[in-house]
Amino acid sequence: MISSRPTLPVAAPEPVYSMPLPPTDEESGRGGISPAQVIAILRAYRWHAVVCVLALIFLTAIVIKLVPKVYVATATLIINYDNKDALAGRDFPAGETNTFVPTQIELIMSRVILRPVVQRLKLNTNPQYTHGFAGPPNAVMEVVTKSLHDSLQVQQGIGSQLLYISASAKYPELAAEIANAVADEYLKQERQRTNQPAGERAERYSKQLAELREKAVAAQDRLTEFRQQNGLTDVEGDRADVEGAALADLQSKLEAAQNQRRDLESRQLSVTADSDSTTVASLRSKLQGQQSEMAQLRATLGPKHPKVVELSSQMESTRRSLADEVQSLSANNSVQLARARDLEAKYRTALDTERPRLLERRGLQDQSAKLVLELQSAQATYKRALDGYDQIVFASAGNYTDVTLVSRADPPVKAEKPNKVKLFLVGCMASLGLGMAGPFAYELFLNRRLRCRDDLERHFGIPVLAQLDPIPS
């Protein structure tokens, strides 16, 4: 074998004889590759390895130089979900505050936010996001939205309520525009979701208020028209009391007339049967005395006696006077009875006429009271709604928001990635490894040579008796 030391050949040490090893191939050789073999292979291919390492380092430098820079711009938001909506009384139930921030992060990365950003920045015409795709507008929009989604990153601050929206792009201005556009679109939609229900409620409240006002006006118009048609006034309650009292007075007068008529009828009967008048009584008593005297005279005197004839004439005169007196009393009583009956008939007619009229008036008053009650109810409802209208309008214009912009994204000064220095160092280490591994691969698999005594002893089991140094040229 050839040695690097320029000396004369020397005798090898006394060999130690042993049983020769069985022939084997390199893969099954004993002990693998020894350090002497490694050094021999590296020495044989040292210039090739140096050239390979330098070439790989040069190629790595060119590739790293050609790698495009990626700029990252970040917009910062803060979560304010403790704000209360005075109109809706919005409170977060226990346990839902922990899901609010993840929900907002997922919402920012959704198509609902990204599609308007694509249309606003016209990213569907940017080759960086279309990747050369040509197709229907909807398909292009889907591809661009997917690319924009991949270039975004939304993170929550550690133990805080901050949200960081980071956008990556080849140009710093574009990265800042994307981050700001995403933040603006999210804030816009979030503000709409927060305030739109209050605005809708205020609009519905205004419509309901107008309807209540129309109902109150309609109730007032119906009451006015009803009163005008029926001649009712605002003092119908007092008038009803007066009319009721008049009807009660007619009823009492009718009862008095009926009692008087009954009394006169009883008197008429008593006059016809047995009158209790003073004149009639005196005439009757006089007639009875004359009849007693006549009986005595007839007992002693004859019928032609002058005293009997005179007494008979007096008795006849008394009878005619009694009959005239009874007839006079009966006629007078009949006249009074007729007058009492006429008065009773008049009271009855007046009562029969006044009662339906009063009942009709009471019906109109009841309808008027119903209309008044409807009017009062409509006015009270309208007044309560009108008292709360200012608060509703003020709350609907409150511009509540759960998320606030802390800082907008500024164009970054330097690229975030790649870190070319680190990549170059990694490339140099990889180039050195490949440059040193190449000669071993070529030596072991393509062009195996005997380069030191270990090649004979370890792989072929041939003892080496002497090793010669290189012969000078």
What digits encode the pLDDT tens for the residues 369-417? 888 888 888 888 888 877 776 666 655 555 567 788 889 989 888 877 7
Q: Taking a C-beta distance cutoff of 8 angstroms, is the pair 163, 171 a contact?
A: no
Q: Which residue type sits at 129?
A: Y
In a domain, 292, yes or no: yes
Task: Residue 115: give its domain's CATH number.
Answer: 3.30.70.1130
In a domain, 228, yes or no: no
Same domain for 48 and 183, yes or no, is: no
Which residues are registered as beta bridge partners of 70?
Answer: 417
- 281 Rama sector, left if φ>0, alpha if ψ -120 to 50, beta otherwise: alpha
Same domain for 79 and 168, yes or no, is: yes
Position 81 pLDDT exceeds 80? no
Same domain for 192 and 132, yes or no, is: yes
Q: Taking a C-beta distance cutoff of 8 angstroms, is the pair 447, 45 a contact?
A: no
**H or E segment and range at residue 164:** strand 162-169
Same domain for 139 and 283, yes or no, is: no
* Cis peptide leading into residue 418 (ω within 30°): yes
Position 251 pLDDT exceeds 90? no
Q: What beta strand segments (E) does 202-268 contain? A: none
R_g (Cα) of the chain, nearest Å: 68
- CA 209/CA 385 separation, integer angstroms: 6
The pLDDT-based confidence of 244 (bands split at 50, 70, 90) is low
pLDDT tens by residue, 106-131:
999 999 999 999 999 988 888 888 87
Same domain for 461 and 367, yes or no, is: no
Q: Taking a C-beta distance cutoff of 8 angstroms, is the pair 347, 253 a contact?
A: yes
Q: Taking a C-beta distance cutoff of 8 angstroms, is the pair 351, 254 a contact?
A: yes
What's residue 101's pLDDT? 85
The pLDDT-based confidence of 8 (bands split at 50, 70, 90) is very low
Tokens of 55: 């070439």
Q: Which residue type sits at 110?
A: S
pTM of the shown model:
0.47
What's residue 240's pLDDT? 54
- In 3-state terms, what secondary structure has residue 73? strand
| Cα first-last separation, the chain | 16
Q: Whole domain around residue 240: which residue ranges?
A: 236-393
Same domain for 246 and 383, yes or no, is: yes
Same domain for 81 and 63, yes or no, is: no
Q: Calculate the average pLDDT of the chain.
A: 76
What's residue 115's pLDDT? 92
Tokens of 310: 């005179």
In a domain, 231, yes or no: no
DSSP conformation class of 26: S
The pLDDT-based confidence of 3 (bands split at 50, 70, 90) is very low
State the total domains in the chain.
3
In a domain, 443, yes or no: yes
